[in-house]
Amino acid sequence: MGSRVLIVDDEPNIVISVEFLMRQEGHEVEMATDGEGALELLASFDPDLVLLDVMMPKMSGFDVLQRIRTDPDLPNPAVIMLTARGREVEVEKGKALGADAYVTKPFATQDLVTAVRDVLAAR
């Protein structure tokens, strides 16, 4: 059963693969390249899951996550953080801010697929 997945990342080269992968999984996919675009799509697209890159210009993934979790006017989807830094401390921070899972770049695509399935199943 397909879900709505919002991919938020400013790196087109990774978005290409993630988008392809999510469509192969049978999900409906939308994409944003920065935090502001993501917040707009959150309201209109109402995703079940957000794949959220941490390192983005202007608003970081953490900023977006904090908005999602604290702004009562926004939908409250599951969030998987993607990061190019792979530091344990970011995982800790992501957890503290309310992320459901954390995937570090570079990742095995299968791990991402597993994480997405687990998080969606847990909802």
Partner 1 sequence: MSRHRPGSVLAGVGAVATAVGYVIAVGIVWSALDAAGRESFTDVLDRVVAIGVGLTLLGGVIAGWFFRSFMLATRRMAEEVDLIATVNPAHRVDANGPALLRGLGRSVNRLAERLWVSLGEQETAVAAGRSAVEQEKERLSAIVSNLAQGVVVCNLDGQILLYNGEASRLLVSQDVDYIGLGRSVFVFLDRNVVLNALHHLQLQAERAAGLRPQRFIATIPSGYVLRMTMAAVRDAGGVFTGFVLTMEDATKERAARDRRDQLFHSITQDTRGSVAGIRAAIEMIRGYPDMSQEERGKFRSVIADEAERLSARVDEVSSDHTETLESAWELEDMLADDLILALTNRIEDAAAIATSTDMKAESVWVKVDALALVDRLGAIAEQMADQTAATGLVIGLQESGRFAVLDMSWPDSQVTELAISTSIREAPHSGGDLASLIDRHDGEVWCEFGPDGGPFLRVLLPKSTAVPALAVRVLAEGRPEYHDFDLFERRDPAGALDDRPLRELVFTVFDTETTGLDPDGGDEIISVGAVRILNGKLLRFEAFDQLVDPRRSIPADSYAIHKISAEMLSGQHTIDVVLPRFSRFVGDTVLVGHNVAFDLKFLQLKEEATGVAFTKPVLDTLLLAAIVYPDADVHSLEALARLLGVPVTGRHTSLGDALVTAELFLRLIPLLETRGLETFGQVHKAEKETFYARLEY
Name the site residues for partner 1 (rule: CB under 8 A): 11, 13-14, 16-18, 20-21, 24, 55, 62, 66, 70, 84-90, 92-93, 96-97, 105-110
Angle at CA of residue 106, ends 58 and 113, nearest 5°: 100
Say how far apart CA 63 and CA 97 lie, in whole Å.
9
On whether the CB atoms of residues 34 and 58 are closer than 8 A, the answer is yes
DSSP-derived letter for residue 49 is: E
**Closer to partner 1 by Cβ: residue 44 or 110:** 110
**Closer to partner 1 by Cβ: residue 85 or 123:** 85
Work out how close the CB of 44 gets to partner 1 at its nearest, in angstroms, rounded to a whole number. Answer: 26
Work out how close the CB of 15 gets to partner 1 at its nearest, in angstroms, rounded to a whole number. Answer: 9
Work out how close the CB of 67 gets to partner 1 at its nearest, in angstroms, rounded to a whole number. Answer: 12
3-state secondary structure of 102: strand
Work out how close the CB of 32 gets to partner 1 at its nearest, in angstroms, rounded to a whole number. Answer: 17
**Closer to partner 1 by Cβ: residue 46 or 70:** 70
Alpha-carbon separation of residue 53 from 1, 27, 73, 78, 102 (angstroms)? 25, 19, 22, 14, 10
